[in-house]
Amino acid sequence: MSNFSFLNPFGVLDEPGTYMGDFYSNNFARKAQAGNVILNLGPQHPSTHGVLRVVVEMYGEYVVRSEPVLGYLHRSHEKMAEHKTAYGFLPNMGRVDYLNAIGWNWAYAGACEQLAGIECPERAEYLRVIAAELNRISSHLVWWGAFVLDLGAFTPILYAFDDRELICDILQRVTGSRLTMNYFRFGGVGADGDDLFFSKIRDFIPNMRERLKMYKALVTDNVILRRRLEGIGPMDADLCVRYGATGPLLRAAGVPRDVRRSIPYGIYDRFDYEIPVAETNDNFGRYWVRLQEISESLKIVEQAVAQIPPGKHIVDKAPKPSWKLPPGESVFSVEGARGEITVHVISDGGKSPYRVKLRAPGFSNLSVFAEAAEGTILADAIAILGSLDLVIPEIDR
Amino acid sequence: MKMLSAIWDNLKGLYSLLVGMCITGRYFFQPLKTVHFPRDVVEPENLASYRGPLELARGKTDESKTRCISCQMCAKGCPGNCITVVKSKEGKNPVTWLYDFTLCCLCGACVEVCPTAAIQFSHRLYLVSTSREALVLDLLKDLEERVAAGPLPAAGAGTPDAKKPEARMPDAGGPQKAAGGSAAPDPEG
Amino acid sequence: MELSKISVLSLVELVVACLLVIALMVANAIVMVYAERKGAGFIQRRPGPYEVGPWGILQPVADSMKLLAKQLFVPANVDFLLYFLAPVLAFLPVLLLFLPIPFGPYLTALKVPDGVVLILAFAGFGLLANLLAGYSSNNKYGILGAGRAVAQGVAYEIPMILALLAVVFQTGSMNLSDIAEAQGSAPWRWNFLCQPLAFFIYLVTLVAETNRAPFDLPEGESELTAGFHTEYSGMGFALFFLSEYANMLLVSFVCATFFLGGYKGPILDGFWWTFIKAYAVMAFIVWIRWTFPRVRFDQLLNINWKWLLPLSILNLWITAVIIKLV
């Protein structure tokens, strides 16, 4: 701020264009009303979860206008796919969204299998469901902790990580890693679950149910949290559809859309579970939907562990690293923790795919923010940002 | 009437705050869950499936010989191009086996394609280094050192030393010492 | 001759008292930094500071060494005078506030008849420091934090005064020693039972006055990064930190004196009772900080103007009526 003076102590914009900033803030400031403050939230702000940057025009504590600025964590995953073999791109999938690695694994493996017409063995399908649902729970747990941290409570995130560690241990048994998991292969999964894997899951489920009760008593029922969330950040179905927001955002707006139900993939049609839907449209609805999803995922895991048949975890003659995709294209969607993950693979039969398009749910979900945060006060805008469950690497890809 | 219900709401809210305080108060007296890293490490059982940097498996007949036949399947299949295998002129056995850990994404493609099961994941969790060059590991040398250090312990051999972190770090030493940076990793990252 | 002798003596006494109070403030900060981090650790099931010294007890020393050694970073275009004045202003008035507190039956730094007035008059001084810090540091987060600090501090001072006034009504004295003395030794006759509403209001306002969670809006970390002291580093930050803990200690001592019987106890009256009670209140403040989410700013003001203020007036009125009748 070079225009600081005692007559103008707030760095208020007297005339457009006097603001010293980069292209984004200058462009943003051009439309600002005189007397409003342009505030840069991020990329190093504590509650933008990494390197998201939001330029906000503020009138006092009120957010008049906001604009997310992306691209601080762009790693060109889509371009990388064009230089690697189809198999070689699999490990990238664990890195697109570090909290929901299995969801992305499934989306890409599913798209390639659909294109090549590979069928998975029964046992592999069950292992996929178990891994995906456990990963969904762990992703929601991190979100829960981080969201409550955004609202100012420090302790719950550590309780959430307590439970998440158990899931990491379980998934490490089969995937070998705790975060950027690379578990799926074309035609099955990388490793079969052993007895310890299943017994750990069986121990985990009742333990987690007990902890969910504690979460409810400590956080969900807390009056401060309730009043911070209820009725804040309305995003109705129309808004979500216009921006393409999916997942818990859409379900909290009263639309029961879940890819597991609407375009069933894998063996999700064999399990008994519900799609939680909230009609309230607010931050609390999104919070409630995600917590319900944890218990629904627990139900699915419980059934899958009970029903899992013996057999092989991967097809015979599974594709090797040098395997070439047959020419053609395919689109495959799965329900990730943050919403609908879609992978579009186009192949010309060459060594590597011709083009891979990754549709990240977080990108569309973030676009809703500018409209939803309009006219709220700063603390609420932060709460809305938290309720979107953003993972910046996934948005930037 | 509205006022009464507002008062009632707030009283209920105060009760919910009390419930929250009881929970944190109870956890205050419960045992800690932290693993004090440099003094204590996670259970070895937990590391059994952990994918650390690659290592060469011991030979079936002669432990000090690698099973590798220099077929280059791993080097070709690797998405990150982190493996360099140079075949010797006389036979199939490799003369150089370089593995660049900085490029490795631990995906397991090499382990899966290897026709002789010559490559495996180590459980070396604590590999740190202060330079990039030190992370280009010579796996043949590493194998030699491991074999020289002694035979493979029988599975499930529970020595009293297993409580000590050094004993639990599989294959401590080797390239780790060569790296010159065996200090504890920075907990911040 | 006689007169000057007395004044010199009392001056020496005052200087010694000031030094002791400074020592208390610093010692308190050191103890509380450790206790708070340990407490937070245990609540979150981790050990807290652990590496520096046995069980990490040297952590506060290491922290203060770090703060002393750090560069005093001054951002561009700050108002130099105010920027450097603000931390000092935050620290100094707290010193004055400790003087009338009766730590023990004979252990009072400055025996003034109207100690309550002195405390309440100078308690608002810290606000000015927060305002100046946020204003002078040429940072938008700082300005927002400063604005919040003033609105919050001014608002919460009123119910605080009214709650304390009810106790003053009951005792009929503004002398803190008298208030402690009047409560007697039996715990059931202490004011937290005789004046439960005033005690509750005071507990809420003391958290808000010291800017602690869940009312830590002026520095609200997830919204304003660090609020009014965003641009302070090194000793500037250390002084704010010190004054925050000193303020906590002060309101805890006031709470102990007004509501928990002061230096009186079931057995063996003395300053230890004051310290035990004050640190119990401190533990309570730490405990709620690590439990609750932060309230929103408009909610914070609503709690004050719509609930605490009417309640405290009601409480004062009831107290007055009862005193008149009895």
Whether residue B140 is predicted with pLDDT greater than 70 in this model: the reply is: yes
Q: Could you give the angle at the alpha carbon of A218 between the alpha carbons of A213 and A224, nearest 5°?
A: 135
Residue A292 has, within 13 A of its CA and on its CB side, a CA count of: 15
Closest partner CB to B20 (pick from C42, C50, C292): C292
In chain A, pLDDT over 90 holds for what percent of residues? Answer: 18
End-to-end CA distance of chain A: 33
Residue C24 lies in a domain: no
Task: Give the residue among C192, C194, C187 at the shortest CA–CA distance from C203.
Answer: C192
**Mean predicted confidence (pLDDT) in A273-285:** 87
Indicate the pairing of strand A328-335 with strand B54-56: unpaired
Q: Residue A54 forms beta bridges with which residues?
A: A41, A68
Give C 200-239 residues with CB within 8 A of chain A.
213-214, 216, 220-225
pLDDT above 80 (res B43): no
What is the full DSSP assignment across C216-268?
A: -GGG-HHHHTTGGGTT--HHHHHHHHHHHHHHHHHHHHHHHHHHS-TT--SSS
A190–chain B Cβ distance below 8 A for any pair: yes
Structural Rg of chain B based on CA atoms: 25
Tokens 């890819």: give the residue.
A259
Is residue A89 scored above 60 in pLDDT?
yes
Sheet of strand B94-100, all strands in order from the earlier edge strand to the far edge: B83-87, B94-100, B136-138
Encoded tokens for B106: 């631990």
pTM for this model (two decimals): 0.85
Mean pLDDT, residues A351-356: 88
User: Chain C: residue nearest A49 by CA?
Assistant: C222
Contact list in A for residue C293 (CB cut-off 8 A) is 148, 151-153, 219, 222, 224-225, 228
Let me know if residue C46 belongs to a domain: no
- A82 close to A353: Cβ distance less than 8 angstroms: yes
Region A202-227 average pLDDT: 90
Average pLDDT, chain A: 85
Read off the pLDDT of each residue in A256-270 and give the average, rounded to a whole number. 87
Reference B6, options A143, A296, C233, C302; nearest CA is C302
In this structure, of B75-89, B136-150, B160-174, C107-121, the range with the lowest mean pLDDT score is B160-174
Distance CA A189, CA A171 (A): 12
> Each residue of C262-295: b (16+ CB within 10 Å) or e?
bbbbeeebbeebbbebbbebbebbbbbbbbbbbb
Residues 6+ apart with CB under 8 A from C321: none
SS (H, E, C) B49-108: CCCCCEEECECCCCCCCECCCCCCHHHHHCCCCCEEEEECCCCCCEEEEEEECCCCCCCC
In this prediction, residues C100-106 reach a mean pLDDT of: 80
The three-class DSSP label of residue C116 is helix
Question: Would you call C55 exposed, middle or buried from its count of C-beta atoms within 10 A (0-12, 13-18, 19+)?
Answer: middle
What is the amino acid identity at position C57? I
Neighbours, chain A (3 or more CB pairs < 8 A):
B, C
In a domain, C188, yes or no: yes
Other CB atoms within 10 A of residue C309 CB: 17
Share above pLDDT 70 across residues of chain B, in percent, rounded to a whole number: 80
What pLDDT, on the 0 to 100 scale, is given for residue A235? 86
Return the SS3 of A344: strand
Q: Which two tokens stand for residue A41?
A: 């939230």
Tell me the two tokens of residue B131: 């330079």
Question: Is the confidence at residue C99, as pLDDT, over 50?
Answer: yes
C179, C262 contact by CB (below 8 A): yes
Of C39, C46, C288, the CB nearest to B32: C46
What's the pLDDT score for residue B162?
40
Q: Using the 8-state DSSP alphabet, how is residue C307 labeled?
A: I
Chain A: nearest CA to C296, how far in angstroms?
6
The better pLDDT of the pair A4, C60 is held by C60
Does A137 score more than 90 pLDDT? yes
| A14-18, A96-100, B45-49, C230-234: which is most confident | A96-100
Give the mean model confidence (pLDDT) for residues A319-346: 89
Residues of B (119-138) whose Cβ lies below 8 Å from A: 121
Of A4, A10, A379, the CB nearest to C223: A379
CB neighbours of residue C306 within 10 Å = 11
Is A318 at the interface with chain C, CB within 8 A? no
Give the nearest partner residue to B51 out of A155, A177, A321, using CB atoms: A177
Percent of chain C with pLDDT over 70: 98
Pick the CATH number of A77-359 from 3.40.50.720, 1.10.645.10, 3.40.50.300, 3.40.630.30: 1.10.645.10
Tell whether A223 is within 8 A of chain B (Cβ).
yes
At B157 the pLDDT is 40
What is the interface pTM, i.e. ipTM, of the complex?
Answer: 0.83
Q: Give the model's confidence band at B167: pLDDT under 50 very low, under 70 low, under 90 confident, else very high.
A: very low
Token pair for C36:
């708070």
Spell out which residues of chain A touch residue C214, defining contact as CB-CB under 8 Å: 152, 224
What domain range includes position C79?
71-325
With a cut of 80, say whether residue C232 has pLDDT above it: yes
Query: Could you tell me which residue, A260 or B58, shows the higher pLDDT?
Result: A260
The reply to whether C265 falls in a domain is yes
Interface residue A196 vs chain B (CB under 8 A): yes
Q: How far is CA A8 from CA A1, C1, C281, in A?
A: 11, 58, 43
Domains delineated in chain B? 52-150+160-176 (3.30.70.3270)
Q: What's the rounded Cα separation, in Å, for the pair A147 and A47? A: 9
User: What is the mean pLDDT of the segment spanning A299-319?
Assistant: 87
- Contact list in A for residue B24 (CB cut-off 8 A) is 155, 218
Q: Do B109 and A162 touch (CB under 8 A)?
A: no
Tell me how far apart the alpha carbons of residues C88 and C279 are, in angstroms, rounded to a whole number: 25
Q: Give me the residue spans of the domains in chain A.
A: 1-72+374-397, 77-359
Looking at residue A8, what is its pLDDT?
A: 45
Average pLDDT for A347-370: 89
Q: Residue A178's pLDDT band (boundaries 50, 70, 90)?
A: confident
Output the pLDDT for position A343.
92
| Cβ pair C199, A24 in contact under 8 A | no
Q: Is C42 on the interface with B (CB under 8 A)?
A: yes
pLDDT at B39 over 80: no
pLDDT score, position A189: 87
Evaluate if residue B182 carries a pLDDT over 60.
no
Rg (CA), chain A: 22
Among partner residues B12, B16, B105, which is closest to A91 by beta-carbon distance? Answer: B105
Domain count, chain C: 1
Q: Is A328 left (phi over 0), alpha (psi -120 to 50) or beta?
A: left
Would you say residue C104 has pLDDT above 70? yes
- State the pLDDT at residue A294: 92
Residue A6 burial class via C-beta count within 10 angstroms: exposed 0-12, middle 13-18, buried 19 and up: exposed
Q: What is the pLDDT, as a whole number, of residue A298?
A: 92
C-alpha distance from B169 to closest chain C C-alpha (Å) = 22
pLDDT digits (tens, 9 = 90+) for C135-157: 888 888 888 888 888 888 888 88
Quick one: pLDDT at residue C67?
86
pLDDT tier at A205 (50, 70, 90 boundaries)? very high
